[in-house]
Amino acid sequence: MKPISIALVHHPVLDRQGEIITTAITNLDLHDLARSARTYGVAALYIVHPVAAQRELASRVKAHWVNGTGSRRIPTREAAMALIQVVPALEDVYTAMGGRAQIDVYVTSARSETLPILSYAEGRQRLAASDRSGLVLFGTGWGLTPGVLQEADAFLAPLRGAGVGYNHLSVRAACAIILDRLLGSDA
């Protein structure tokens, strides 16, 4: 299987009104997504943010846990936080992974879009069989924009919960569930 990476997108994403915004980086997102990424053998966690000061913040958090006192206080966290790669834009993720043509891009959302939906069983098979690296995009705010969703190669089925009429997972929870469905071992 080719390497699989994930990206947490802070721009472009939607706000409650459906406008395109830039969200702030949340420290908890960095830790939780990095720990999930390491747990499921993900090659890299790209943190996408156009604002230099925000990228600097994420880089400092990473350095604290990889080279600083954090790595001594909680040694197991180093291996997770070392997966973090901070970049200005999605295009930089594609470049870092060898170019857009080398990547199978999967997108996620709670909303059922008009896009053809890929089940997690189909996603597992596609990742295993692909000769391209996999990249799963996660949004922030009120989700990935329609443009980002439409540019992807595959739209992973929205997690539906128990169908109780409430579906507002955090990106941290959604990422862990989706990685388990795509990459988890049954054991």
Per CB under 6 A, residues contacting ligand SAM are 108-111, 138-140, 142-144, 158-159, 167, 169, 171, 174
Nearest distance in Å: CB 141, ligand SAM: 6
CB nearer ligand SAM, residue 94 or residue 142: 142
Minimum Å gap between C-beta 173 and ligand SAM is: 8
Nearer to ligand SAM, 9 or 81 (CB): 9
**Closest CA relative to residue 17, chosen from 149, 141, 171:** 141
What is the pairing mode between strands 13-14 and 20-21? antiparallel
Smallest gap, in angstroms, from Cβ of residue 162 to ligand SAM? Answer: 12
For ligand SAM, the nearest residue by Cβ is 143
Identify the residue whose tokens are 């992973």.
156
109 contacts 139 by C-beta, under 8 angstroms = yes
